[in-house]
Amino acid sequence: MNVYDSEQIAARLIALGYQQTGTLETADLVIVNTCTIRAKAEQKAFSFLGRLARLKSRKPGLIIGVGGCVAQQEGAEIFRRIPQVDLVFGTQAIDRLGLLIPKIEDKRCRIVDVTMTDKPDPPDVVPNHRFDHSASAFVTIMRGCDNFCTYCVVPHVRGREASRHPDRIMKEIRDLVQSGVREVTLLGQNVNSYGKKENLWSFPELLYHVNSIEGLLRIRFTTSHPKDFGSDMINAFKINEKVCDHIHLPVQSGSDRILKRMNRKYTRELYLDKISKLRDNCSGIAITSDIIVGFPGETEADFNETLDLIKMIQFDGIFAFVYSDRPNAPAVRFKNKISEDEKRKRLQTLLDLQEDVTRMKNQTLVGSVQPILVEGTSKKQSSGSLERPRSTVQWMGRTTTNKIVNFCYKDSPQRRTDLFPGKIVYARIEKAYAHSLWGEPVGVNTTTGGLKGEESYAA
């Protein structure tokens, strides 16, 4: 979501005549878009701001802006901690940047704007500015959250849930496809409740319409709240061939006692039931999740229930976090906090368990042929190995189940031009690792639609 917001910020700056620089040192203005979901994210933001403050002592004309959730949470307090900051703007102030920045340029004053409204429809977005020209793009479909999980800062810094009008979303996706995008990830804190408050299309209806956009190959979305995930969503996976075979369904804990204290509004049994219905109807679907370890009051027995749930479900992957207190979130006041040492220990146990599961799941793909949406050349070009002889470039892309596949495309001048971000390559999976797969291309798709789970491929 912050990547998307940063692109929105960049679009406003470009409209003011700014250009993106290659290095921090050459910039006249730096905006830090912050996250405060966990304590560590906030610490990182302040440590980066400290670096910028030192840069400003050598370059006094530099304008420093702080946006995002830390800005919303801390407001003018940021000026006290880092006096070199010129602008603090909250999560709903991006639209006002076009007015705020010229004021600072003219008057060299300090401004804080953290006003939030409960308007049902967030202000329209300006045409998207993208930092890269990859084939995959994020599209925010809703903002804020009404769920108030007791550990979470989001409702306090992003405001109440509000869905964007489907016409705007459809237009934005069509424009992205025009510019070469082939995959979109629809973003919201709980996409399952899209449109309900405003009486717009439901989320399955939105998926149905996005699925009809010509030239778009893949649709992903995040995040689904398990309490609102039902048969209509299972059906959406079945009828929309562009919706990828992957769902991220954060469970947070395997213990009913902890789920209740987290205010998650589902039980372990209900979650297991939803997973089993999903798997019965959408065979081969990849399921990933978020888990918090060391929530206040989490006993050894509660933690073991989480481990047990992981063994039962066999997720394709998880994001696991140690609980951290967040300002205004009710769990700050909960008793029986878990020590940092114990939280780290539990995290490691959980990650070790999941790594074995992920490796084993990846192993089952060896020998299969998978359609891969090419994202670009691989950042890590493993230097001259069996996988990659020195003369060839290593590419990377993803399966519809969201697994990273690295591969080389054997050179022939004509074949080289076949390959670019946004192409579908069919690869036979040859090796499975904990975090990626290695594939051997066996064909490139020459058409543009209907690729989910396709059995055949063009060799």
Binding site for ligand SAM (CB under 6 A): 37-38, 151-152, 154, 189-190, 223, 225, 250, 252, 290, 292, 321, 323-324, 326
Give the binding range for ligand SF4 (CB under 6 A) out of 13-21, 146-154, 342-350, 411-419: 146-154
Are the CB atoms for 194 and 206 separated by under 8 Å?
yes
The distance of closest approach from Cβ of residue 262 to ligand SF4 in the complex, given in angstroms and rounded to an integer, is 8
Q: Which does residue 148 bind out of ligand SAM, ligand SF4, none, counting CB within 5 to 8 angstroms by kind? A: ligand SF4
Q: Which of 29, 97, 111, 152 binds ligand SF4 (CB under 6 A)?
A: 152
Minimum CB distance to ligand SAM smaller for 227 or for 361: 227
The distance of closest approach from Cβ of residue 143 to ligand SF4 in the complex, given in angstroms and rounded to an integer, is 11
Question: Is residue 162 within the footprint of ligand SF4 (CB under 6 A)?
Answer: no
C-alpha pair distances (Å), 238 with each of 155, 207, 213, 277, 316 = 32, 12, 17, 13, 20
Minimum CB distance to ligand SF4 smaller for 65 or for 188: 188
List the structure tokens of 105: 């340029």
Minimum CB distance to ligand SAM smaller for 164 or for 242: 164
Minimum CB distance to ligand SF4 smaller for 225 or for 261: 225
Q: Which does residue 155 bind out of ligand SAM, ligand SF4, none, counting CB within 5 to 8 angstroms by kind? A: ligand SF4
C-alpha pair distances (Å), 340 with each of 320, 334, 346 = 15, 16, 10
Q: Which does residue 324 bind out of ligand SF4, ligand SAM, none, counting CB within 5 to 8 angstroms by kind? A: ligand SAM
Q: How far is residue 147's CA from residue 74's CA, in Å, rounded to a whole number? A: 22
The distance of closest approach from Cβ of residue 188 to ligand SF4 in the complex, given in angstroms and rounded to an integer, is 9
Q: How far is residue 18's CA from residue 30's CA, in Å, rounded to a whole number? A: 11
Q: Which does residue 38 bind out of ligand SF4, ligand SAM, none, counting CB within 5 to 8 angstroms by kind? A: ligand SAM
The distance of closest approach from Cβ of residue 198 to ligand SAM in the complex, given in angstroms and rounded to an integer, is 19
Minimum CB distance to ligand SF4 smaller for 151 or for 237: 151
Q: Which does residue 89 bind out of ligand SAM, ligand SF4, none, counting CB within 5 to 8 angstroms by kind? A: none
Give the binding range for ligand SF4 (CB under 6 A) out of 141-149, 201-209, 210-218, 347-355: 141-149
Q: Which does residue 323 bind out of ligand SF4, ligand SAM, none, counting CB within 5 to 8 angstroms by kind? A: ligand SAM
Question: Is residue 148 within the footprint of ligand SF4 (CB under 6 A)?
Answer: yes
Q: Which of 145, 247, 369, 451 binds ligand SF4 (CB under 6 A)?
A: 145
Q: Which does residue 378 bind out of ligand SF4, ligand SAM, none, counting CB within 5 to 8 angstroms by kind? A: none
The distance of closest approach from Cβ of residue 227 to ligand SF4 in the complex, given in angstroms and rounded to an integer, is 9
The mark string for 95-134 relative to ligand SF4 (x by CB under 6 A, - otherwise) is ----------------------------------------
Give the binding range for ligand SF4 (CB under 6 A) out of 20-28, 64-72, 152-160, 319-327: 152-160
List the structure tokens of 34: 């912050």
Cis peptide before 36 (omega within 30 of 0): no
Sheet order of strands, 111-113 included: 29-34, 63-67, 87-89, 111-113
Site for ligand SF4 in 188-247 (CB under 6 A): 189-190, 225
Are the CB atoms for 41 and 34 separated by under 8 Å?
yes
Q: Which of 2, 147, 235, 363 binds ligand SF4 (CB under 6 A)?
A: 147
Q: Is 351 exposed, middle or buried (0-12, 13-18, 19+ CB in 10 A)?
A: middle
Q: Which does residue 320 bind out of ligand SAM, ligand SF4, none, counting CB within 5 to 8 angstroms by kind? A: none
Beta bridge partners of 46: none
The distance of closest approach from Cβ of residue 221 to ligand SAM in the complex, given in angstroms and rounded to an integer, is 12
The residues that touch ligand SF4, with contacts defined as CB under 6 A, are: 145, 147-149, 152, 154-155, 189-190, 225
